[in-house]
Structure 1
Amino acid sequence: MECEVNMFKLFSSNTKNASANEELVAVTLKEGTAKAPFSKDSAFAPNANGGYDVFVNTNDFKWYQVAAKTIASLKLYNFEFKSDVALSELDLYWFLTALYDGKHDYTVSCDYAQNVLDKVAMTVNTVSVFRKIADSDSKISTPEKVINVLFDLVKEAADAQGDSASLKLIKRGDLEFEKYAGLNAVGFASDEDPCMGIIDYVPKCCQKDSPVQVALVGKGITFDTGGYSLKPDKYMETMRTDKTAVVYLCGAVTLAAKLGIKKHVRLYLCCSENMVSGRGMLPGDIVTYPNGISVEINNTDAEGRLVLADGLLQAGEDKAQYVLDMATLTGAAKIAVGRDMFSVLTKEKELDKSLVSAFEKTGEMYWQLPLAQYHRRFLSSRRATVTNSGHGEGAPGSSVAASFLEQFVDKNTPWVHIDLSSAYLPDGSPFLAAGPTGSTILGLATWLCE
């Protein structure tokens, strides 16, 4: 699978080699408003250097990303960047992230030390690679192919650091695959083999047989029709991105490798298509997992939690000390918090402090939603332990989905669930272009390095 990724080249304006072969437009961020004859509401105006002044209000939320969107609207891909207002290293990262459109390379000269720019460029380019993969066609990114592509990137980063990364690929037809009840059920209708990809990342500071400190379990539905609970056209057209969680988790591990990961991490990539055929999963089917939980299918479009259950059980079997799962799981999370942030749910009332610190340190936007024992009542079934989708008046979708997953996690193991409502922006926002956002990659990478 080939993914041509637009890249960022950053040069310090203090060095003479900046953009030797590029003609740069002078762009300056200025606090305040445009002067006459331009309207004071104008976001930009020509400057004396033949370039543009871009006007910002530093009291505005994410003003540096709003400024980047203005620059992008001018179709400036090579520019010398100055700012009357200081941008931190993190601000610069998010500024560049907002420029990304999946189409163009950027060359930017700015007044930072070259070592700072090298680190920022490495970070934003790594995230851009995974944003591009998240948007790749489903005919290219089949379950097996996407696992192999993601592993190659993790392995390349591990080799560069002298760390170890290995892949165990288990797919339909393999004897070991039979225990993955969710993947078998969801993938049965597809011509492409559903797969469990287990990537083991062992940094050089850990022994290969050391305990798995962190299990990262991801939903990787490479295309989601909804099955017999068929999605409307409006919601199906972007379902190539229903694999985003496995992509971003691998992005986080790849970036963490480059930043200096300190934890033995194991990734569980639960990948399948959710298609329609005469042999496909039907409403009313009952799926039974190795832990004895039986699930009545009342919605074939609630397939993500079925495959995640396989990964969570495998992580438990591997005795992972900490489990984090992530999925583009519910529309309810988007309704609750929108697409600009992701939802986090856990059995505990307070999130893990190190995870909170990493998210806040990196500017990742999240919100904790409730998870309580009473949410299980919305999964009641006459014929099985639970249904796979919530039902009943006032069922809170994201909390109910997390309640379903909780049944597959050892009660003594710390566990966090991320409902990735911020995975993708169909129409863009004031802060990012349309398409995959890269949300969580930097935050999770930072967490893994602590």
Structure 2
Amino acid sequence: MSSALSVYLTDKMPVNYLAEKALLAFKDDAAHIVIGDNEEENLRRIQKAGRQLDTQGITSLSVQGPGWDKERQWALSLGYTSTLSTNSVQWSAEVADELQQVNDVFRFTRELVNLSAEEIYPVSLAERVAKHLSELAPDHVSYELIKGEALKAAGWMGIYTVGRASQHEPAMLVLDYNPTGDADAPVESALIGKGITYDSGGYSIKPSEGMLSMKCDMGGAATVSGALSLAIRQGLNKRVKLFLCCAENMIDGRAYKLGDIITYKNGLKVEVVNTDAEGRLVLADGLQAAGEAGAKQVIDAATLTGAAQMAVGNEYNALFSVDDEAAEKALRFARQENELLWRLPLNRWHAENCPSAFADTANSRPQKGGGAGGASNAAGFLLRFAPNDGKGWLHFDLAGAYQKSATAMWPAGATALGVRTIAATLRG
């Protein structure tokens, strides 16, 4: 077994033949990462150096010397990975247990997203998450799996309609984490995840290049599941319900069509003008379920719109809320956890921005990408279903959840960006 490569931090390049802007140098059988005075930039430099070390085939690192606080060590770990790697980092003893917890959760979250749709389909996604959380807290977790025609009977028409054309039946996971010992304890928080395990676009079919990465369209379900897993490991003592809205958006003779009307459990009628705007259709069921549970705080997460990616890029997630206090809390936790999050506009009138002549609302606008303001209009659609008139509700549009190809910061595939922020918001 090879020994780990020692990695040091330095404020001066240890060799004189490299450019001043170089991130990394090798000297005396060790790697040296050059940092400066700006800590935000330092974390980016360390993560980029981790990527370079990963691409050079180095399988084990050990942090050495002064300057390695928890966030710097985690930044190194974020870069020092890939979809196929089994790399390991030997962290400093004082933070090793804490970072290993986060690392285990990130590996779980990334694996869910990176596995192919042949391996992760609606029921298997729900079962994997239920198994993971049940093993983590066996005395505090119970769950129910509603699938196939039982969804229709229960009134969860969004999930049922989107998923009915697939050979893999749609499903809703309803998982209850209750560490209080009181069966009647109030539900402090509800987590809702978009679990579209593959998205062809339906009859509004995607082009081939747009479909290639659509195994990642259950990134919201993976993110909230990972967040709950992390919060439990960190001592979460509040009751939380998890709702995963799982379906494959496929095409056959039973597939839903443009012009169809979906009548939801709350009586709201929605005209389908784009079958590729399916994420909001399934999340609507989860939001109603959260309302039935009486949750005080409601958080949903989804790889929902390309418009959010156009707005914030692939290194941020986008946040929407009509509750300023709740939004500021989430942004504060994102800064604390060093995860990039940006609040985009959401007003109550956004709920009116997808009008229909045949129903209470349409699920989008009949324009490419939903037209101008597509991410805000999607959030406005969800606002129609948010409990408590949107008080305590946070919607994460996960623009940074998946990288189609490797970058200087990230490997190709899932990033798990947002897991730490949502876990902290649950605990806070």
State the TM-score, normalized to the length of structure 1: 0.88
* Whole-Å separation in 2 of the counterparts to 1:198 and 1:227: 26
Using the TM superposition, give the Cα deviation of residue 293 of structure 1 relative to its aligned residue in structure 2, in angstroms: 1.0
C-alpha contact (below 8 Å) 1:89/1:116 kept by paired residues:
yes
Distance 1:90 1:384 in 2: 50
351 and 213 in structure 1: CA distance in 2 versus 1, 3 angstrom threshold: closer
Q: Are 1:122 and 2:104 matched, yes or no? A: no
Q: 1:98 to 1:166 in 2, by over 3 A?
A: same
What stretches of structure 1 move > 6 A for 4+ residues in a row? none
Deviation at 1:72, TM superposition (A): 1.7
Is 1:92 aligned to 2:68, yes or no? Answer: no
Deviation larger for 410-419 or 95-104: 410-419
1:143-163: CA deviation from partner (whole Å, max 9, x where unpaired): 00110101111111113xxx4
1:237 alignment partner in structure 2: 212
Write the distance in 1 (CA, Å) between the matches of 2:353 and 2:151.
35
Work out the percentage of aligned pairs sharing the same amino acid: 32
Q: Does 1:80 align with 2:55?
A: no
1:30 to partner: Cα distance: 2.4
CA distance in 2, matches of 1:418, 1:215: 14
Which residue is equivalent to 2:34? Answer: 55
**What letter corresponds to residue 334 of structure 1 in structure 2?**
Q
Q: CA deviation at 1:43?
A: 3.6
Say if 1:177 and 1:339 are closer, same or farther in 2 by CA, change over 3 A: farther
Out of 230, 254, 257, the residue aligned to residue 232 of structure 2 is 257
Contact 1:183 1:271 in 2 (8 A): yes
Name the CA distance, whole Å, in 2 between partners of 1:34 and 1:67: 15
Determine if the alignment matches structure 1 residue 399 to structure 2 residue 372: no
Kindly tell me: are residues 394 and 272 of structure 1, through their superposed partners in 2, closer, same or farther at Cα, counting changes over 3 Å? closer
Deviations 1:51-75 (A, max 9, x none): 3333344533622212212222322
The one-letter code matched in structure 2 to 1:70 is Q
**Which residue in 1 is equivalent to 2:257?**
282
In structure 1, what is the equivalent of residue 267 of structure 2? 292
> Could you say which residue in structure 2 is the equivalent of 1:29?
9
310, 317, 323: which is aligned to 1:342?
A: 317
TM-aligned CA deviation for residue 416 of structure 1: 1.1
Q: Deviation at 1:400?
A: 0.2
Q: How far does the alpha carbon of each residue in 1:195-249 deviate from its partner, in whole angstroms, 9 at most, with x for none?
A: 111010011x351221111111111000000000000111100101101111111
In structure 1, stretches of 5+ residues that fail to align are: 1-20
Pairing partner for 1:140 from 119, 129, 136: 119
Q: What one-letter code is carried by the residue in structure 2 that aligns with 1:436? A: A
State the alpha-carbon separation in 1 of the partners of residues 119 and 301 from structure 2. Answer: 23
CA distance in 2, matches of 1:194, 1:118: 38
8 Å contact from structure 1 (residues 25, 80) kept in 2 = yes
Question: Number of matched residues?
Answer: 422
Deviation per residue, 1:22-71 (Å, 9 max, x gap): 423333332233633444454433312x2333334453362221221222
Between the aligned partners of 1:298 and 1:109, the Cα distance in structure 2 is 52
2:133 pairs with 154, 167, 170, which one?
154
The reply to whether residue 384 of structure 1 matches residue 362 of structure 2 is no
Greater shift in the superposed pair: 432-441 or 410-419: 410-419
Question: In 2, distance between residues paired with 1:343 and 1:122?
Answer: 26
Are 1:183 and 2:183 an aligned pair?
A: no
Partner of 2:50: 68
| CA distance 1:167–1:396, change in 2 (3 Å) | same
Q: After the TM superposition, which of the residue ranges 285-294 and 100-109 deviates more from structure 2?
A: 100-109
CA spacing shift, 1:252–1:185, aligned 2, 3 Å: same
Determine the C-alpha separation between the residues in 1 that align with 2:210 and 2:313: 16
The one of 305, 308, 317 equivalent to 2:283 is 308
Where in structure 2 are the equivalents of 1:31-46 lying within 5 Å? 31-33=11-13, 35-46=15-26
Specify whether residues 187 and 75 from structure 1 end up closer, same or farther in structure 2 by C-alpha distance, changes over 3 A only.
Answer: same
Tell me if structure 2 keeps the 8 A contact 1:170–1:176: no
Change (3 A) 1:363 1:255: same
Distance in structure 1 (CA, Å) of the matches to 2:275 and 2:22: 49
Q: Is the 8 A contact 1:381 1:387 kept in 2?
A: yes
Distance (Å, rounded) in 1 between the aligned partners of 2:305 and 2:119: 25
How far does residue 281 in structure 1 lie from its aligned partner after superposition? 0.7
In terms of mean alpha carbon deviation, does 237-246 or 27-36 score higher?
27-36
**Secondary structure of the structure 2 residue equivalent to 1:447:** helix
How far apart are the structure 2 equivalents of 1:44 and 1:217?
Answer: 41
For 1:294, give the aligned amino acid.
Answer: K
Q: 1:217 and 2:197 equivalent?
A: no
Distance between the aligned counterparts of 1:171 and 1:391, measured in 2? 30
Q: Secondary structure at the match of 2:145?
A: strand
Secondary structure of 1:287's aligned partner: strand
Structure-2 change in CA distance of 1:448 and 1:41 (3 Å) = closer
The residue aligned with 2:426 is 448
What displacement does 1:176 show?
6.4
DSSP-derived class of the 2:210 partner: helix
Q: How large is the RMSD of aligned CA atoms in angstroms?
A: 2.0
